[in-house]
């Protein structure tokens, strides 16, 4: 259960550790070993040049509006849908590409699927949101809009609802027939105790720069993290009996107040927002790092202390428009990662299962 809460806070990136940083641009050296008989394309490039705006203009002209309208209704009662969708997009794309494999409940091979992996937190949220949106799309245009596009369109709309300038989504993704937990666990997703070097290497392997990693970690602007994930930094850092020296007294007192009764039977392990505007994709997450040395996760704390990333954090903290522009660009790149197009994969009727 602790791993689940850890990864809720971690993303893009992302965690983004989003969900969650890299110095040099890199390629995509890994290849996903699809079993024979599944004609998937090699995972070796971003595909924003293959995807296009208005992909469903002829086949399902209301697709984008349906996604927007359905998500707007969802967010009215569930404002956490925005970080949930961003994290879900990251966890889908970083494993084997943006192919909706994260949404499958079972594998044709009988193996464990991605969403059942500890690396995905076991309780990865958001599949039900995609179910709701996809059902509306199926009513309008049966078996036309892929689940991978549904997730990408929903994430794109979620960012607009969180304050980013609205932009037309790219379409044309198709859905994978395969989902394997073993691929998620093969160093394709970050862990919250990783060093910055490990993070840089992972993101570099996926073709993302150090700046893009830092920017994607800005997804924490709309995220939260349960106390048990970070409270050892506040109470007993590395078994010293003292708090993490990287945290200021002000931040320690603030987090101790948020996580009262830690370690006692009365402890309820509440979620704590990464910053004070949890529904807005702004640069306050970075401003708190610079101005207050405030971070919840160890992986985030590396960003402000390492000379490779600290200048980027400062840039994002100083310029809110720059962060929003860079975040939109990084998410566009993320959502185009190793997609299936053309005749590869399928368009699922139900996102939790293949058509087979």
DSSP label of 46? B
- Is residue 275 marked as binding? yes
CB 152 within 8 A of CB 56: no
Helix (H, G, I), strand (E, B) or coil at 174: strand
Residue in 89, 101, 42 with CA at minimum distance from that of residue 354: 101
Ligand-binding site membership of 101 (annotated): yes
Q: How far apart are CA 283 and CA 102, in angstroms?
A: 29
How far apart are alpha carbons 253 and 53 in whole angstroms? 48
Structure tokens at 237: 């850092």
Cα separation of the two ends of the chain: 33
Give the CA-trace dihedral at 202, 303, 126, 208, to 10 degrees.
Answer: -40
Asked whether residue 190 is marked as a ligand-binding residue, the answer is: yes
Tell whether residue 109 is among the known ligand binding residues: no
What's the Rg (C-alpha) of the chain? 20
Phi-psi region of 37 (alpha: psi -120 to 50; beta: other; left: phi over 0): left
91: annotated active-site residue: yes
Which two tokens mark 180? 């394997």
Q: Do 3 and 9 touch, CB atoms closer than 8 A?
A: no
- 277 is known to lie in a ligand binding site: yes
Catalytic residue among 15, 91, 226, 302: 91
Annotated binding-site residue? 318: no
131 is in an annotated binding site: no
Rounded Cα distance between 219 and 215, Å, is 8
The answer to the question of whether 211 is labelled as a binding residue is no
171 is in an annotated binding site: no
Hey, how many other C-beta atoms are within 10 angstroms of the C-beta on 256? Answer: 15
Please check whether residue 345 is in contact with residue 40, taking contact to mean a CB–CB distance below 8 angstroms: yes
Does the annotation flag 228 for ligand binding?
A: no
Annotated binding residue at 321?
Answer: no
Q: How many CB atoms lie within 10 A of CB 35?
A: 11
> What residue numbers does the annotated binding site for substrate cover?
190
> What residue numbers does the annotated binding site for heme b cover?
220
* Residues identified as active-site: 91
> What residue numbers does the annotated binding site cover?
92, 95, 97, 99, 101, 114, 190, 220, 275, 277, 282
């Amino acid at each position: 259960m602790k791993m689940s809460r850890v990864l809720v806070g971690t993303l893009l990136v992302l965690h983004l550790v989003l969900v969650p940083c890299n110095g040099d641009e890199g390629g995509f050296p890994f290849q996903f070993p699809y079993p024979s008989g599944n004609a998937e394309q090699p995972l070796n490039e971003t595909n924003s040049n293959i995807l296009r705006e208005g992909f469903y203009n002829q086949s399902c002209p209301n697709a984008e509006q349906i996604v927007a309208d359905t998500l707007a209704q969802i967010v009215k009662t569930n404002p956490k849908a925005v970080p949930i969708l961003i994290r879900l997009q990251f966890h889908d794309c970083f494993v084997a590409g943006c192919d909706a494999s994260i949404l499958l409940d079972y594998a044709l091979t009988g193996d464990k699927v991605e969403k059942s992996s500890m690396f995905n937190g076991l309780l990865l949220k958001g599949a039900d949101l995609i179910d709701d949106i996809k059902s509306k799309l199926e009513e309008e245009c049966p078996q036309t809009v892929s689940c991978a596009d549904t997730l990408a369109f929903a994430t794109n709309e979620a960012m607009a609802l969180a304050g980013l300038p609205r932009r037309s989504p790219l379409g044309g993704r198709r859905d994978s027939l395969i989902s394997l937990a073993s691929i998620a666990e093969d160093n394709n997703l970050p862990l919250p105790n990783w060093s910055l070097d490990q993070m840089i290497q992972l993101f570099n392997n996926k073709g993302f720069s150090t700046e893009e990693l830092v920017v994607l970690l800005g997804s924490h602007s709309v995220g939260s993290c349960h106390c048990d994930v970070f409270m050892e930094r506040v109470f007993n850092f590395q078994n010293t009996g003292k708090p993490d020296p990287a945290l200021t007294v002000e931040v320690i007192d603030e987090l101790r107040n948020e996580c009262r009764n830690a370690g006692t039977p009365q402890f309820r392990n509440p979620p704590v927002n990464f910053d004070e505007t949890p529904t807005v994709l702004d640069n306050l997450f970075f401003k708190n790092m610079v101005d207050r040395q405030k971070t919840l996760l160890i992986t985030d704390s590396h960003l402000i202390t390492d000379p490779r990333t600290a200048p980027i954090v400062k840039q994002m903290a100083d310029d809110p428009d720059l962060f929003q522009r860079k975040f939109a660009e990084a998410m566009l790149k993320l959502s185009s990662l190793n997609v299936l197009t053309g005749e590869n994969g399928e368009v699922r009727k139900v996102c939790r299962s293949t058509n087979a």
